Amino acid sequence: MSEAAPNPEAAAWRRRALLLAPLAVAGLGGAGFYAMLRGLGTGNYDPRGVPSALIGKAPPDFSLPPLEGTGLPGLSAADLKTGKPLLVNFFASWCVPCVIEHPQLMRLARDGVAIMGIAYKDKPADSLGFLKQRGTPYARLGVDQPGRVAIDWGLYGVPETYLLDKSGIIRWRMAGPITEEILAQQVTPLLRRTA
């Protein structure tokens, strides 16, 4: 500092503030980092997360064949207008996070929430095995083996879940597994709000 301090007391305060500034920056940085780590743990923060381009829009037009052996009907865009909020869940048997979120989907289904499933790039026999072993949370299930319908939804990985309000507009998208925290903090309140 080349400035001569006319008031020594002010200069002392300034020096003290300058000493504390790096500490404050480090403290804030640490708090931010901690919040990020916590968010990573609970699934609330995803550094690679990207907002969906479809939020506020109607889902794309599509029609997918059913999965033989489940007895469930296939899925098309017209099936997404039920007058109630619902979830559209993309999954695959080869997807490990899908296993993590599966109990949460089962719980939602037990609570009466309609979940429409889309098997993404999966062999039908493998999808069937996955659901036989773990239970089927889906009301309807479409098979998207080429993954083309998924691209129309803007999907970039599995699992991915979209929440549609009662008029069939996409309101929320989760790229990644629905953990218990996300179920409690985001899905359940949203389902109530969009009903």
* Residues that bind other proteins in the complex, under the rule CB under 8 A: 2-4, 48, 50-54, 60, 121, 147-148, 151-154, 156-157
Q: Beta strand pairing status for 86-91 and 114-120? A: parallel
Q: How far is the CB of 47 from other proteins (least distance, A)?
A: 10
Task: Name the token pair of 53.
Answer: 């381009």
Q: Which of the 8 DSSP states describes residue 161?
A: E
The residue among 137 and 154 lying less far from other proteins, judged by its C-beta, is 154
Shortest approach of other proteins to residue 143 CB, angstroms? Answer: 16
- CB nearer to other proteins: pick between 15 and 132: 15
Q: How far is the CB of 59 from other proteins (least distance, A)?
A: 12
Helix (H, G, I), strand (E, B) or coil at 92: coil
The β-bridge partners of 116 are 88, 140
Q: With respect to other proteins, which residue has the nearer C-beta, 4 or 23? A: 4
Return the ∠ at Cα 100 (arms to 147 and 85), rounded to 5°. 65
Between 139 and 175, name the residue whose CB sits nearer to other proteins.
175
Nearest approach, Cβ of 136 to other proteins (angstroms)?
Answer: 25
CA angle 16, 19, 23 (to 5 degrees): 125
